[in-house]
Amino acid sequence: MYITDMDLKNIRGVHFRYCQARSRHRNFYPVRGAYEGSILMLIKDGRVLFNFNGRRVIAGKGDAVCWDPGELLDFHHAEGRPVSFTTIIFDIISPDGRKLSLRDIGLPRCFRPGKSKAVTIQVGRILAVFHTRDPLRLFKCSRLGLDLLEMLDREKRPGARPVSGPGAVLHHRIRDALEYIYVNYKKRLEVAGLARKACMSADYFTRLFKRQVGIPPARYILEFKIRKAMDFLGTYDEPLAFTGEELGFHDYSHFSRTFKKITGMSPRRFVKKGKKGYDPKQDEWNL
């Protein structure tokens, strides 16, 4: 993979929005600020399949993957196994106060840090400072973030590879189905209906979808709806039953069971934890 030289001379600072390490994680969900800042994900264990607007990339242990808002279509476990990773969401600030993209500074989308241990230690320092109550924590994180970017620039090596072969690009009908889900997620979507729109049998559509995306379409629909539910519950102060109804669930009981099955907690507990904020002594949620 082609590795570019980063241009770090015109960076005034790095503003961190979110930093979190997750161990043996089984489901990916949106995190605070995920659609506003640049994202760097360091894979510590397992393999992750990324869909960058239809172009697929598999990243494994030791790889780093980064993207700007709007670049990533979706991502899932590549082998259905738990994944350990660290996610950092941040803004890169220019001297005149503008936000720079990762492409502006020349950071490649997928690479492998040469001195992974040193990078891991630096990321650990950022996590430790970010989750303190120090009033100067964001300033200190900014300096650590600049050091991290310089380290990645010095030590980057070719890493994650694009998926090759016939499945390297999403089948156009699977891509159309994904886009239909994104637009119509509030409806009661069914696999049979998506298969008819794709002009395929339900069995063939399910097999192709799972092979291309990584999980069956029924599971994907439920996970996508729950992602949206988490987004809504974290942003708007609406009744829980109203959120479930808006997302096409039969009733609140159905919504609550599905939410708990996928996230491990009820919608009510999710909202309560979101209002309390992050508590590292309890668990890894930071909402």
How far is it, in rounded angstroms, from Cα 218 to Cα 91?
35
How far is it, in rounded angstroms, from Cα 9 to Cα 24?
37
Coil/strand/helix, residue 215:
coil
For 267, the token pair is 């919608």
Q: What are the distances in angstroms from CA 126 to CA 85, 120, 161, 178, 200?
A: 15, 10, 28, 36, 49
**Which residues face 59 on adjacent strands?**
48
pTM of the model: 0.60
**Which residues face 91 on adjacent strands?**
15
Give pLDDT tens digits along the chain (287 positions).
334 455 566 788 888 888 888 887 766 655 544 557 888 898 888 888 787 766 778 888 888 888 888 777 677 776 667 788 898 989 988 888 888 888 788 788 888 876 677 888 888 999 999 888 888 888 888 889 888 888 887 766 655 554 444 444 667 888 788 888 888 888 888 999 999 999 999 999 998 888 877 778 998 888 888 888 887 776 666 778 888 888 888 888 888 888 888 878 888 888 877 644 433 333 333 33
Coil/strand/helix, residue 170:
coil
Q: Same CATH topology for 13-162 and 172-276? A: no
H or E stretch at 113: strand 110-113
Pairing type for strands 161-162 and 74-77 reads unpaired
Domain edges within the chain: 13-162, 172-276
Single-letter amino acid, residue 60: G
Q: How many CB atoms lie within 10 A of CB 143?
A: 13
Look up the CATH architecture of domain 172-276. Answer: Orthogonal Bundle (1.10)
Query: CATH code for 13-162?
Result: 2.60.120.280
Sequence-separated (6 or more) residues with CB below 8 Å from residue 3: 108, 111, 156, 157, 158
**Which residues face 75 on adjacent strands?**
50
